[in-house]
């Protein structure tokens, strides 16, 4: 970790504050608090920030002994996490989403990682391989998230708000989360980029697990993936020039996006000339080969029939992910060109 006047060498096991932002948390939030209550190693502080909403999340949190802060309006988890961090006094801030259940050993592992490595600034964990919701989309999405983290580099380039811990001094030194993100979005990734740019270290700890309890449906999944993830992440990548081949940006995924679009083009062309079906078949084979480890993982976890259902959804992900990246890149460069040519002291002229 880069020296910024922050003493990271603690003479004692670091204290831990678990910070949970919640908005109309419901039963998943109760299960989240129960999981913390049943942890092998309890945190010194449990801080819940109720980010607006109209349910009784604050009352549930109080019943579990949490320190509760209620915000008047909903302005997103970035602000809520910052409020919780400002209230904390512990050495380590462990951010947890309200729709995950923390594994019993997670807090103990977080504490141990920071105690053993004084140079470690932040760490992130992983979803487990047993998602809470039983429907296909929830199983597929959460399992592929688990696979992505379990096969990624341990030297991470991003932070993760669902299960991420950071030294309080470093968090304050970089001014916490960017509160201009008003929805659950890429505010955690943006924080990770700033941490890395300022010389801090982030580790992916693959044995620190939480169980995601969210029930995904087609509409909610596509809305979150495109508008709250792919588009803002594209802008973030271009702003920070972060093109590391890791997580969802690995070489296999990039190649798969190209092959999926070639597949769509060849299938359309086959409507006029059947010979294009040969290329389509070759591209399908290429996609299976390029992603064979993903499909082998699903086959081990859920069997062959489940894997056959995964494949079209996985290819569809490459399709809309690639489209979102292309659109986001176009809009970003369009905005940059506009700012360059039409600055406040150089107003756009009307056409006569």
Whole-number mean pLDDT of the chain?
A: 91
Q: DSSP 3-state assignment of 69?
A: strand
Residues of the chain with pLDDT under 70: 1-11, 242-249, 343-352
Give the domain ranges of the chain. 16-216, 247-335
Per-residue model confidence as pLDDT tens digits over 237-252: 898 776 665 555 678 8
Dihedral of CA atoms 109, 115, 120, 121 in degrees, nearest 10, equals: 90
User: What pLDDT is recorded for position 4?
Assistant: 42
HSE-CB at 47 with a 13 A cutoff on CA atoms is: 23
Fold of the 16-216 domain: Spore Coat Polysaccharide Biosynthesis Protein SpsA; Chain A (3.90.550)
Start-to-end C-alpha separation, the chain: 59
Per-residue model confidence as pLDDT tens digits over 15-55: 999 999 999 999 999 999 999 999 999 999 999 999 998 89
User: What pLDDT is recorded for position 242?
Assistant: 67
Dihedral of CA atoms 258, 260, 264, 269 in degrees, nearest 10, equals: 60
pTM (two decimals): 0.90
């Amino acid at each position: 970790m880069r020296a910024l006047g922050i003493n990271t060498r603690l003479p004692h096991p670091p204290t831990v504050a678990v910070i949970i932002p919640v908005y109309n948390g419901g039963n998943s939030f109760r299960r989240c608090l129960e999981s913390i209550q049943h942890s092998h190693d309890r945190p010194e502080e449990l801080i819940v920030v109720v980010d607006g909403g109209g349910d009784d999340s604050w009352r549930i949190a109080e019943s579990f002994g949490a320190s509760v802060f209620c915000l008047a309006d909903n302005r997103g988890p970035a602000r809520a996490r910052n409020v919780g961090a400002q209230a904390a006094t512990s050495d380590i801030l462990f951010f947890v989403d309200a729709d995950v259940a923390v594994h019993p050993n997670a807090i103990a592992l977080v504490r141990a990682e920071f105690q053993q490595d004084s140079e470690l600034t932040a760490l992130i964990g992983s979803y487990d391989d047993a998602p809470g919701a039983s429907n296909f989309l929830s199983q597929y999405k959460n399992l592929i998230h688990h696979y992505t983290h379990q096969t990624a580099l341990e030297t991470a380039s991003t932070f993760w708000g669902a299960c991420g811990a950071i030294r309080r001094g470093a968090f304050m030194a970089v001014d916490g989360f960017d509160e201009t993100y008003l929805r659950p979005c890429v505010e955690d990734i943006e924080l990770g980029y700033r941490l890395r740019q300022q010389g801090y270290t982030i580790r992916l700890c693959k044995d620190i697990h939480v169980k995601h309890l969210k029930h995904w449906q087609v509409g909610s999944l596509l809305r979150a993936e495109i508008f709250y993830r792919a588009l803002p992440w594209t802008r973030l990548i271009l702003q920070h020039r972060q093109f590391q081949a890791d997580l969802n940006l690995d070489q296999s995924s990039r190649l798969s996006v190209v092959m999926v679009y070639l597949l769509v083009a060849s299938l359309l062309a086959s409507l006029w000339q059947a010979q294009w079906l040969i290329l389509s078949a070759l591209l399908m084979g290429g996609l299976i080969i390029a992603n064979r480890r993903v499909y082998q993982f699903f086959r081990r976890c859920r069997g062959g029939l489940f894997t056959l259902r995964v494949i079209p959804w996985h290819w569809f992900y490459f399709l809309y992910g690639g489209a979102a990246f292309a659109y986001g890149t176009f809009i970003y460069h369009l905005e940059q060109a506009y700012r360059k040519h039409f600055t406040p002291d150089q107003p756009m002229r009307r056409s006569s």
